[in-house]
Chain A
Amino acid sequence: MFHKTKVAVAAFAASTILASAALSADLVINFDDPNPGPKKGFEDAVAKFSAENPDINVIVNINDREAHKTAIRNFLSADAPDVTSWYPGNRMGPFVDAGLFEDVSDLWEEQGFGETLSAIKPTMTRDGKQWGVPYTYYQWGIYYRKDIFDNLGIEEPTTWDELLAASAKLKENGVTPFTIGTKFLWTAAGVFDYLNLRTNGYDVHNALTAGEIKYTDPRIKATFEKWQELVEPGYFIENHATMSWQDAVAPFANGEAAMYVMGNFSVDAYKNAGLTYDQIDYFQFPEITPGLPRAEEAPADAFFIPSGAKNKEDARKFLAFVARPDVQTEWNATIGQLPINSEATAGDDKFIQEGFATVSTAAGLAQFYDRDAPAEMAKAGMEGFQEFMIKPDRLDKILERLDKIQARVYK
């Protein structure tokens, strides 16, 4: 099941390592993305780390993302690696609370991460301490078919009214404005988060996911009213509940739909579906409440040290290494995402550039509904979003149910 790669720095190592073999320590790293791009980014970084630290013998396990989510619960308590990839925010909560992650506040202090990684510091913090080091994040927003927009003479919308007007025009011309696949629920949360961030702002998003305001709150209802303005006229493709996000790329690629509220990782899928860079473009989710400071979704991925790790000293070295500006620059250039370290430079891909401009000027960064809210609330909430998109008239019932669940989850 585990895909094992021993990253030996072969040629260069042959001479030096033989001498220091007795001193070499194993560093086991579990990573969660076997897709070609992310895997290469990770392996390149590990190779660089090994070259710089010839005395450390790095052993890498690369597991499938979904399998990793299940396996981590076992390996953290049974056979802990020295470093593992995981997600910040509420996703790290259960492990932090169970004492399975190592407190790395000392590393943050020592390396000055409070400055360089400040964008992600709040979500890496729990109980006033930092628990891991982030190496990448990516922007969300609206990806659209530039060729279709140009054909119909539509400009990138910057306000809600412009977005509705653009949608109406697309619909008139037989193009469904938005594609989406809600089979796995979280895509709907992306739409909800943006509508909520633009209607009510960053603080309301945080208050809602922290369980401080109810779902029946008038502000949240206002968010759903905006959503209703897209659902009612049929601006989302039909049958979205049967599709995964990848399935939903098909209508986007063949021109049946023209916009997609998505994260930047989806650009690869558009290219694989046969779209060229001239056909696709990106714009920030338009303003809804005028004058509201613009907050963005920017989920980060990070590395953590399990408290059961055997080689914590070298694990800290690796965490310090992944935060370095030059490492983050190279790594994110390979995987097409944004470096977190403020001294690193973003790649020159057009989406990376736009994303960088979007995220670096944002007033606040949300992780994502299912990372900011506790797992059980997130699941129920996202089911509610999906139900709303199919049966919008049940809104009140859905919100009451969510209130009930909220009351239990945050007790």
Chain B
Amino acid sequence: MADASTTLSASRKNTWFQRNRMTVTPWIFLAPAILFFVVYVIAPIFQSIWISFFEWDGLGEAEWVGLGNYVELLDDDRFYTSLINNVWWLVLFMLAVPAGLAVALFLNQTVTGMRIYKSMFFFPFVISQVVVGLIFTWFYNPNFGVVGIIWEFFGAAPPAILADEDLVTFGIIFAGLWPQIAYCMILYLTGLNNVSADQIEAGRLDGAKGWKMLWYVVIPQLKPATFIAVVVTVIGALRSFDMIAIMTQGGPYGSSNVLAYYMYETALSEYGFRMGYGSAIATVLFLIMLIYISYFLYRMYQDEKGGR
């Protein structure tokens, strides 16, 4: 028996691979994912940054214009409108986090049929964004939509939300919040499952209840869920595209554009095909995202280190 194990371990140390098994194995498992990530994510990032230095219609010769596209961006009203709208999206989309928490807390009870209610609340996240966009377009229709009916009930003339340059972005964000709240809710619901009952009990004994219990005992334990909810919401806000494409196509006259849609419009839509300019917009959007993403990655890394 002892003999057998010594020979086995001896043969294990024989080849390089066997000696370095622990280090190599993870990389082998990661390799396919890394390969695809590099080909489909990393490479296109650099490719589109490269294209942004050209004037190119996607068909003919690309013409090197250096930073020309970026200079043009600085003087483009549509770009600033899109940028400001992106900020609105970022700020207001954050409401999905507390709203999701509130719904999750409300649903975190043991009542018969709770699962049905939970799934109903989760429903908007499951249906396609395109459908959400269409439904809200009808809601907002001043002639036959719900909004029109409510306004008329109070005797006011209903606003054409999607045709009003001041309201349109908020109208779309509100529609976008509906599925996003459901998403945050489900993140918090799973988080709430892991809240330790002991600590709640201990908190009770120490006389904490209501807001204090929530703030000092429950929410700190939900930190991982909050972290993920914030990350997905930030990214969701920055890549808000489907809703705008469905509800307004960036209109009226570009006032509900965001960077993601503006990029699509200039580079790929019917009147676009300015690949270079679109890529320049994409690069700006990427840089904005990069700030958030690297901050969150840094935080995550720090947390991991602290956790070990």
Contact = CB atoms under 8 A, between A and B. Distances in A.
A408 B71 CA distance: 13
B142 interface: yes
A194 B70 CA distance: 37
A70 to B, nearest CB: 8
B72 A375 contact: no
Contact of B253 (A77, A97, A387, A408): A387
A174 interface: no
A378 B271 contact: yes
Given A379-B272, A401-B77, A241 B58 contact: no
A376 B274 contact: yes
Interface residues of A, number: 33
24 contacts: A70-B268, A73-B58, A77-B59, A98-B57, A183-B251, A238-B160, A239-B142, A239-B143, A241-B163, A242-B140, A242-B160, A242-B163, A375-B271, A375-B272, A375-B273, A376-B271, A376-B272, A376-B274, A378-B271, A379-B272, A386-B253, A390-B165, A391-B165, A408-B72
A370 interface: yes
A77 B59 CA distance: 8
A184 B249 contact: yes
Main secondary structure of the interface of A (DSSP, over half): helix
Interface in B260-298: 265, 268, 270-274
Interface in B137-174: 137, 140-143, 160, 162-163, 165
A387 B81 CA distance: 14
B265 to A, nearest CB: 8
B248 to A, nearest CB: 8
B243 to A, nearest CB: 15
B60 interface: yes
Interface of B: 57-60, 72, 75, 77, 137, 140-143, 160, 162-163, 165, 248-249, 251-254, 265, 268, 270-274
A178 to B, nearest CB: 16
Nearest to A398: B253
User: In terms of DSSP, what is the predominant structure of the interface of chain B?
Assistant: loop
Nearest to A70: B268
A241 B59 contact: no
Contacts of A379: 265, 271-272
A66 B249 CA distance: 14
Given A184-B249, A239-B143, A94 B162 contact: no
A94 B57 contact: yes
Interface string A72-86: 010001000000000
Nearest to B57: A94
B105 to A, nearest CB: 37
